[in-house]
Amino acid sequence: MTSQSVTALAPSPTLSARRLILPLALAQFICSFAGSNMNVMINDISRDLDTTVKGVQTAITLFLLIMAILMIPCSKLTDRWGRKRCFNGGLALYGVGALLSAAAPGLGVLILGNSVFEGVGTALLIPPVYILATLWFTDVTRRAWAFGVISGLGGIGAAAGPLIGGLITTGISWRAAFVFQAAVVVIIILLGRRITDPLPPDPTRPFDAVGAILAGAGMFCLVFGILQAGTNNGLMTVFLVIGVVLLAGFYVYVRALERRGKEPLLSTSLFKNRTCNLALVTQNIQWLILMGTSFVVSVYLQTVREYSAIKTGVIFTAATVGLLLSSLAAERFAKRRPQRTLIVWGFVVSLAGIGLLIGLVVSWSSIVAFVPGLFLVGFGLGAMLTPSVNVVQSSFPEERQGEISGLSRSVSNLGSSFGTAVAGTILVAATSRGNGAYAWAMAAVALAGIFGLTAALLLPRRAEAQPTTS
């Protein structure tokens, strides 16, 4: 289908557009919420299921990792099965996982429900969210508005997850937080009944199963290896080496398929766009900062300062407010400033927030010490989440949206996994050191932020020429 015909199907920016965006944005919200709300339940879950902080960290990281592993394969399946069918199927799996988690008698069932079912469901439903938004809104400003709503609610879900999770956990039970997720899924399904797919599914589209296995296994081994740091360094090294070998094998396999004229899981041509490559790096680091900060601060408050779930959640209100303010202004920012500028300043503000989280918290025991840093981290992330997504998605034509959307979401979720795994492992491995472990974990997040800022500064001031469809 040509870009002109897709444009003809697009809704006007009125109530119809809002009705389309609402279920998509809520879907991103609840999936992001799932990645962070468990952070404030660590003590409650550990006591109830007779496990440890490391056990809960593993469940959280596996949820994020499974999303990252399956995001690209599931994005390819949207072309074969259709975007709306994948969206609804993912919601159904997610809902089942939420209910299973709510009834979990032990850590194993919690991992099955939260990490596996919810992780697979999220990987299936998220690519259609961004593909549909890209197909419906071809104008740069309107697309920025759509991505602003979706990414904004996603960021708010991640930032507000600790607050909402803390309220529910303290008021009812940590299990009720999963019932809440299932209820939101039902609402999304009802709101999404009117969604139509602009492009028909193509059942003949090839699917690279071997590539999916190689890429997925490689990413799993890398993150699982990081989780072993401090507990089994020998096993960590083995998994890291296996992960690198598998990913190298994936690249060789993809190149071989392309030379034979066959369609691989992920085309290497996606990485020939320098602007897109740099924007993908910024996306990865943004979510690493968000999830890394959320996990480190939550664990520190509950294990070192022994705060309750509700008190821990309330502290994160500062990050939620900051992210909400900048997300609501995303469309206005897009009109006034280049996307590169927004991404650069987003990193600068976020790094300033991390600096305050280290300096003030280590030297000041008051709860107020967390407020300025969390606010700046939230505000900076909210300002740059949308521009990064827009740069990536707008770098390719309509027929490649399934592929680039999967890569984009996979990179973002891999960043979330790294944030929880790397910073969380540093903190959990040295919880007895109190402020020292906290400072080192946050310093690791800051180092990643500096790397993201460097990538943002390398973005060209003017976007590369957009590919067009015939």
Whether residue 97 is predicted with pLDDT greater than 70 in this model: the reply is yes
Name the nearest CA neighbour of 298 among 122, 109, 31, 46.
Answer: 46
pLDDT tens for each residue of 120-147: 999 899 888 888 887 787 776 677 778 7
Q: What angle do CA 243, 245, 250 make, to 5 degrees?
A: 95
Alpha-carbon distance of 62 to 429, in angstroms, equals 18
| pLDDT tens digits, one per residue of 25-67 | 999 999 888 877 888 888 889 889 998 887 887 888 788 788 8
Calpha distance 273→247 (Å, rounded): 21
- 404 or 248: whose pLDDT is higher? 248
Comparison of pLDDT for 122 and 268, the residue scoring more: 122
Which strand (E) or helix (H) includes residue 159?
helix 140-171
Does the structure show a pLDDT above 50 at 365?
yes
pTM as predicted: 0.76
Residues 306-334: pLDDT tens digits?
888 888 888 888 888 888 888 777 667 77
pLDDT in tens, 226-245: 777 666 677 878 988 999 99
Continuous segment of H or E residues that includes residue 373: helix 371-393
Q: Which amino acid is located at 254 in the chain?
A: V
Q: What is the mean pLDDT of residues 270-284?
A: 88
138 CB-contact burial (10 Å; exposed 0-12 / middle 13-18 / buried 19+) = middle
Report whether 309 contacts 44 (CB < 8 A): yes
Cα–Cα distance between 427 and 239 in angstroms, integer?
21
Mean pLDDT of 439-464: 87
